[in-house]
């Protein structure tokens, strides 16, 4: 591995060298706590930023299917699942839903199912680019 300024244990406290008897402290963290974050790509966040784009739920090609609570597609009429949305949602509506507002025209459960469907979208599916272009800032 090529290292850039990786501190040695003797230097980790304040950057200056100590004799070998003085050791740095290592915080190993609690069990079950993730210690890594991977950088995800941010898509075009441009002027008047959110594109007036659309996310259909579900994709038109699956128009007859229902959306289960976890966002997967299930046959029409499945108990506990919801029919697709009557109209596509705009990028702005989904962005606000990601920040806690509800999707317009939906009950809490239905909106949650739709959001899970949207979160599962992959490249090539209708609405993916729109969803990807809405990046909620940290």
Partner 1 sequence: MSHRHHFRVGPVGFRVASDWAGPIADLKRLYADYPTLEGCAATATARIEAARPWRRWVRPAVHIGGDYTIPDALPLPLSQGLLAAEMAMNLQVALGWRQHLLLHASAVERDGRAIIMVGASGSGKSTLAAMLGEGDWRLLGDEFAMLGLDDEQLSPFPRLISLKNESIAAMVACVPPERLGPIITGTPKGIIRHLVPRADAIARMDERATPALLLFPTFGGEAGLRPVPPSEAFMRLTDSSTNYVALGEPGFAALTRLVRDVPAVAIGYASSDQGVAAVEALWAELEA
Partner 2 sequence: MPATPPLWLAPHADRLSIFTLDTLTAVYDRASGQTHILAQPLPEILAALRDSGANAQAIADRLSATFDIADSGDLHARIAECLNELAALGLVERA
**Residues of the shown chain interacting with partner 1 in the complex, contacts defined by CB under 8 A:** 4, 37, 39, 41-55, 90, 92, 126-130, 133, 135, 137-138
CB nearer to partner 1: give 52 or 79: 52
78 binds, among partner 2, partner 1, none (CB under 5 to 8 A by kind): none
What single DSSP character describes residue 40? Answer: P
Number of residues forming the site for partner 2 (CB under 8 A): 24
- Using CB distances below 5 to 8 A depending on partner kind, what does residue 123 bind out of partner 1, partner 2, none? none
| Among partner 1, partner 2, none, residue 11 binds (CB under 5-8 Å by kind) | none
State the distance between the two ends of the chain, measured CA to CA, in whole angstroms. Answer: 30
Q: How far is the CB of 13 from partner 1 (least distance, A)?
A: 17
With CA atoms as reference, report the closest residue to 93 among 66, 123, 127. Answer: 127
Choose the contact partner of 31 out of partner 2, partner 1, none; CB within 5 to 8 A by kind. Answer: partner 2
Q: Cα separation of 12 and 25, whole Å?
A: 8
Closest CA to 103 of 131, 80, 133: 131
- Give the separation between CA 120 and CA 113, rounded to whole angstroms: 11
Candidate list 21, 31, 48, 136; residue touching partner 2; CB under 8 A: 31
Q: Which pair of tokens denotes residue 121? A: 């979208």
Which helix (H) or strand (E) segment is 67 a member of?
A: strand 66-67
> Which residue ranges make up the site for partner 2 (CB under 8 A)?
1-7, 9, 23-32, 34-39
């Amino acid at each position: 591995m090529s290292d850039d300024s990786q501190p040695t244990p003797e230097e980790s406290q304040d950057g200056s060298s100590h004799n070998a008897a003085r050791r740095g402290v290592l915080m190993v963290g609690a069990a079950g706590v993730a210690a890594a974050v991977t950088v995800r790509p941010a898509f075009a966040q441009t002027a008047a930023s959110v594109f007036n784009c659309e996310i259909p739920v579900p994709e038109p090609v699956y128009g007859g299917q229902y959306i289960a609570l976890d966002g997967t597609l299930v046959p029409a009429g499945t108990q506990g699942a919801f029919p697709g949305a009557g109209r596509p949602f705009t990028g702005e509506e989904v962005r606000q839903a990601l920040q806690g507002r509800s999707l317009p025209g939906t009950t809490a459960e239905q909106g949650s199912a739709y959001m899970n469907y949207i979160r599962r979208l992959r490249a090539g599916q209708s609405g993916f680019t729109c969803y990807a272009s809405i990046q909620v800032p940290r």
